[in-house]
Structure 1
């Protein structure tokens, strides 16, 4: 047990625990949840319903991108197929064969697809939810698993209705949802969300995310919020809060408290944890090149990338050998580099860094990344 000093006292206070040992244990658990907790999402529905496009949209990929789930009007999924999130590898979306297909009979479907693999189910239909969908929902409900109905391709419905006199998008969407809920009246408290994989951040996307955050276990909420696309300023702020809550834990686990060694906790500052923390922020906030390009096309603002002035963002974006060297550096050298990128910290740092300084480094770096993301979204008109 380390002797109390200002750093240990601050670390314990930040954790909300009663002593340093409990604080360190809680910190390691929280960082593990932030960086490694798994989230497995099952996506099922009839062929042509839009399962694969939905999976690709959550992963931020076009249907024809390398590594994208295969799409088509015929059943392309012969067995449960995992697709890892490209920047959050602990998040996996599973493309499941449609219920009632030759190799996955309705009666044994949940057993055949290994129901306990998944945290929740998305049941997708582009038209009416069918008897097999309802039967599946009842069985999932009986097994006390979470499930959600996704009415896909609503952009097509709006286009089809758009030429009619007195057309109202709001009324059309309300009618579609009401029809779905009426069709699902046999299901207890059905949750229906209207989604377009082509306009993924529109319609009920944020309602879906909000519902999942309310219903998922707390340690799974972080993985979900990190992985979903940034759809608005409100969504960005939710993501920022995830990292704000974890900053103290990352500082403590990095070994930043300059006290006697604690088992499993290095005294030398571990720059790898700091870099992992900032990298997660970078991708989660949509500051990577692919996310910026996709947002630019979506809002027709080609100048979004030019808004990036942050040294930290540019440093994380660099795909040069220098970045690879940073990952390989040990102790103080890597910390000095990271500190040099974050305003208000500078490079005057030793191999052993106090909790206070490391915590400040994380908070300042997070603020710089968050402010950059806010600037991008404001320019994009996504207030």
Structure 2
């Protein structure tokens, strides 16, 4: 029992607050933002630049998936079109019409696409950045919002140059230099070379790091949750993020356990435990659609046949048994004034934390195995 009380005291101290009540309030705010904060991302570029494919890649979808943004060689986007993330309804990517089209003139573009709606802008080009792209970036800069230049279809350029005997590194260097030359009037622009087909290559991970660096903490977490896992580095960042949330959830569990209401602590714990494991499962890329896309990316068809869907159910069942046993003792303790309440708080905190971290570790290890199998260690 002393070690359990020490655990919760350590958690309170780590929160930066002086009391359980204050720490719990902070934890509730953190969890609410983690699961619910909105993130709206604008993706724009000229016709044929690959912006719709890029929107799909950020949503872990293929261009031919049912909910994918339509792609084509002609302008398929005539209005700002929202595309929800398939597993995170609070994240929306907006496929914007190309700047300079008849309905979206450069001078009035930001007003017509509702500039204030978006957290930042991704300006996509597959050949070269043009005057309209530069004009748009300058206007965004004036309004003190962030923008990033994305040079797409890099895989196509490498294949084309390889046929001429030019190797990958020289091609990438040449493209980066050309982009910097085209955009030198912007100052020191953020330029990222990406392939929407293969987000494990080139600058995709650097782009995600740059996007996160410009966001407030709550939205950093939302973005990190939503991006596909095609490297161990991204996976481990996600694991650390979920570890912090597990401690916040455990703090709330401890606070609820004080109330002498039969079943309250258990039902509250199970609801959030289910949400936690489900979020891990999707964020780590263990769902069927993510595995299917990964299997095509690395040309390993057996990956799509992996059955991971039962993992969440197993962890929820395990949690139910562990937390159910703890809940009865917590309830009996909560009936005892002062000392009993403190004991029930410590027990609930420790039980919930241990269940969440054990399940998180197991899901993370499965994701590591998938990356190893895919050759993306």
**Of residues 304, 312, 315 in structure 2, which corresponds to 1:316?**
312
2:350 paired with 1:356: yes
Which SS does the other structure have where 1:123 is aligned? strand
Q: Which residue of 1 aligns with 2:333?
A: none
Q: Which residue of 2 aligns with 1:322?
A: none
The CA deviation string for residues 66-114 of structure 1, in whole angstroms up to 9 with x for no partner, is 1111111111111111100001111110011111111111111111111
Quick one: distance in 1 between partners of 2:67 and 2:303?
26
Q: Which residue of 2 aligns with 1:175?
A: 174
Quick one: distance in 2 between partners of 1:204 and 1:317?
36
Quick one: distance in 1 between partners of 2:129 and 2:267?
54
2:362 paired with 1:368: yes
Q: Which residue of 2 aligns with 1:194?
A: 193
Shift of 1:350: 2.8
Q: Is the 8 A contact 2:286 2:367 kept in 1?
A: yes
Q: Is the 8 A contact 2:81 2:95 kept in 1?
A: yes
Quick one: distance in 1 between partners of 2:190 and 2:24?
40
Q: Which residue of 2 aligns with 1:283?
A: 282
Shift of 1:158: 1.1
Q: Is the 8 A contact 1:45 1:99 kept in 2?
A: yes
Q: Is the 8 A contact 2:273 2:316 kept in 1?
A: no
Shift of 1:348: 3.1
The CA deviation string for residues 151-192 of structure 1, in whole angstroms up to 9 with x for no partner, is 111111111111123x21011011001101100000022111
Q: Is the 8 A contact 1:7 1:258 kept in 2?
A: no
Shift of 1:257: 4.7
Quick one: distance in 2 between partners of 1:349 and 1:81?
48
Shift of 1:230: 0.6
Q: Is the 8 A contact 1:99 1:106 kept in 2?
A: yes
Q: Which residue of 2 aligns with 1:117?
A: 117
The CA deviation string for residues 124-145 of structure 1, in whole angstroms up to 9 with x for no partner, is 1111111111000001011110
Which SS does the other structure have where 1:72 is aligned? coil
Unaligned runs of at least 5 residues, structure 2: 331-346
Quick one: distance in 1 between partners of 2:283 and 2:239?
9
Which SS does the other structure have where 2:197 is aligned? coil
Q: How does 1:147-166 map to 2 (within 5 A)?
A: 147-165=147-165
Quick one: distance in 1 between partners of 2:195 and 2:277?
31
When you count helix as a share of all residues, which structure comes out higher?
2
Q: CA RMSD in A?
A: 2.5
Q: Say how many residue pairs are matched.
A: 354
CA distance change for structure 1 residues 53 and 278 in 2, over 3 Å: closer, same or farther? same
Shift of 1:346: 8.1
Quick one: distance in 2 between partners of 1:178 and 1:192?
10
Quick one: distance in 1 between partners of 2:93 and 2:156?
24
Q: Which residue of 1 aligns with 2:32?
A: 32
Which SS does the other structure have where 1:156 is aligned? helix
The CA deviation string for residues 250-276 of structure 1, in whole angstroms up to 9 with x for no partner, is 2233466521489xxx64441111111
TM-score, scaled to structure 1 = 0.86
Quick one: distance in 2 between partners of 1:42 and 1:52?
11
Q: Is the 8 A contact 1:233 1:382 kept in 2?
A: yes
Shift of 1:11: 4.6
Q: How does 1:148-297 map to 2 (within 5 A)?
A: 148-165=148-165, 167-254=166-253, 257-260=256-259, 267-270=265-268, 271-297=270-296
Q: Which residue of 1 aligns with 2:83?
A: 83
Which SS does the other structure have where 2:376 is aligned? coil
Quick one: distance in 2 between partners of 1:169 and 1:180?
17
Unaligned runs of at least 5 residues, structure 1: 319-334
